[in-house]
């Protein structure tokens, strides 16, 4: 007696054979899926970083500008001990911290209003308003601040009647401009974090006699802290690496990015630039190491 099949046997084809093979070999499946993105990550990210690390141990022939590929620690020693690099590193960290503090102070109330107070419709409108500046070019915004902060700019015109003056170009101008540029990046994660705080917790706190401030301090803040830290990672790391804004509105001030830029662009000293570039990498790694314990990285 012959068994009758309800479904005819599938025709054999290369695609089917391959599919059958992959179905039986999960590791091969995984390898095929991940090799392209991992190759990309490896080549673009890891190799570039390793190359940077290696370059820091080379030197440059001062006259011809050719790179001499002999191992030397001179650049690292120079960067660690040189007073110029210490000053600029401290200045850069100071600017990054100031920008971060200002941004968090501005973002917290805005994000809280968006997440907990505004109606659903208002929420969408506010979200669009926060995101809109991101559509304009970074350079346009920095140059806009250059004319705002100028001696005959709009800020001077606004505050002059009250005896005030524009800060002019310098570190304050840099901090103002960077705070403006990175604000959306701080608002968004805090907003997302606050939205996840259940309203019932706030009501429960109220029912149990918690006043506004104690509710904020004891219920909202601990729950939102990882989100706030996620926001600070953006503003801190973006400020740390910036050199264009400080070039446009920073007057004579230099930040670490400028030193890297002049060593690559003007002085043609790639090894020293690589050594300087290691400073922000070390700082950011230290910062990430600290915040990893708070669970903030889950919010990114």
Partner 1 sequence: MMRMRNARRGATVGLALASVALLTACGTSGGGGGGNDNEAATELGETEGQVSILAWPGYVEDGSNDPSVDWVTPFEEQTGCEVTAKTFGTSDEALNLMKTGDYDVVSASGDASLRLVAGGDVAPVNTDLLKNYDGIYDFLKDQAWNTVDGVNYGVPHGYGANLLMYNTDVITEEPTSWDLVFDKSGDYAGKVTAYDSPIYIADAALYLMKHQPDLGIENPYALDEEQLAAAVDLLKQQRENIGEYWSDYLKEVQSFQTGDTVVGTSWQVIQNVLEGEGGKTAVTLPADEGATGWSDTWMISSQAKNPNCAYAWLDYISSPEANAAATSYFGEAPSSDAACEYREDCEAYHAGDADYASQIWYWTTPIEDCIDGRTDVKCTDYAAWTQAWQEIKG
Binding site for partner 1 (CB under 8 A): 47, 50-51, 53-54, 58, 61-69, 71, 84, 87-88, 146-147, 150-153, 168-169, 250-252, 254, 259, 262, 264-269
From the CB of 25, what's the least distance to partner 1, in Å? 22
From the CB of 57, what's the least distance to partner 1, in Å? 8
Beta bridge partners, 67, equal 60
User: Would you say 21 or 39 has its CB closer to partner 1?
Assistant: 39
Show Cβ contacts of residue 172 under 8 Å, excluding neighbours closer than 6 positions. none
Instruction: Report the alpha-carbon distance of residue 84 to residue 87 in Å, rounded.
Output: 5
User: Would you say 268 or 294 has its CB closer to partner 1?
Assistant: 268
DSSP string, 115-156: IIIS-HHHHHHHHHHHHGGGGS-HHHHHHHHHHHHSTTSHHH
User: Would you say 59 or 123 has its CB closer to partner 1?
Assistant: 59
User: Would you say 147 or 214 has its CB closer to partner 1?
Assistant: 147
From the CB of 237, what's the least distance to partner 1, in Å? 23
From the CB of 288, what's the least distance to partner 1, in Å? 19
Do the beta carbons of residue 263 and residue 275 sit within 8 Å?
A: no
Do the beta carbons of residue 180 and residue 106 sit within 8 Å?
A: no
Instruction: Report the alpha-carbon distance of residue 119 to residue 176 in Å, rounded.
Output: 31
What radius of gyration do the chain's Cα atoms show? Answer: 27
From the CB of 297, what's the least distance to partner 1, in Å? 21
User: Would you say 77 or 122 has its CB closer to partner 1?
Assistant: 77
């Amino acid at each position: 007696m012959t068994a009758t099949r309800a479904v005819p046997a599938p025709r054999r084809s290369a695609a089917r054979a391959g599919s059958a093979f992959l179905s039986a070999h999960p590791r091969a499946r995984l390898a095929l899926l991940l090799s392209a993105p991992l190759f990309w990550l490896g080549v673009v990210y890891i190799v570039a970083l390793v190359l940077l690390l290696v370059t820091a141990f080379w030197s440059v022939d001062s006259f011809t500008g050719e790179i001499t590929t002999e191992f030397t620690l001179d650049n690292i020693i120079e960067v660690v001990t040189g007073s110029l690099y210490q000053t600029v590193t401290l200045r850069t960290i100071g600017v990054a911290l100031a920008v971060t503090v200002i941004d968090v102070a501005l973002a917290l109330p805005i994000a809280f209003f968006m997440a907990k107070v505004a109606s659903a419709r208002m929420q969408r409108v506010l979200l669009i308003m926060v995101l809109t500046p991101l559509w304009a070019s970074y350079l346009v915004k920095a140059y806009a601040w250059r004319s705002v902060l100028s001696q005959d700019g709009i800020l001077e015109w606004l505050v002059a009647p009250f005896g005030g003056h524009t800060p002019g170009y310098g570190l304050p101008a840099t901090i103002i401009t960077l705070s403006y540029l990175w604000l959306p990046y701080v608002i968004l994660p805090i907003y997302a974090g606050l939205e996840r705080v259940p309203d019932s917790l706030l009501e429960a706190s109220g029912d149990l006699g918690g006043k506004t401030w104690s509710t904020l301090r004891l219920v909202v803040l601990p729950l939102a802290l990882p989100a706030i830290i996620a926001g600070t990672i953006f503003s801190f790391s973006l400020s740390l690496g910036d050199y264009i804004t400080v070039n446009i509105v920073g007057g004579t001030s230099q930040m670490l990015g400028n030193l890297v830029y002049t060593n690559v662009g003007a002085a043609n000293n790639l090894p020293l630039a690589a050594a300087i570039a290691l400073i922000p990498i070390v700082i950011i790694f230290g910062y990430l190491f600290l915040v990893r314990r708070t669970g903030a990285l889950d919010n990114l």
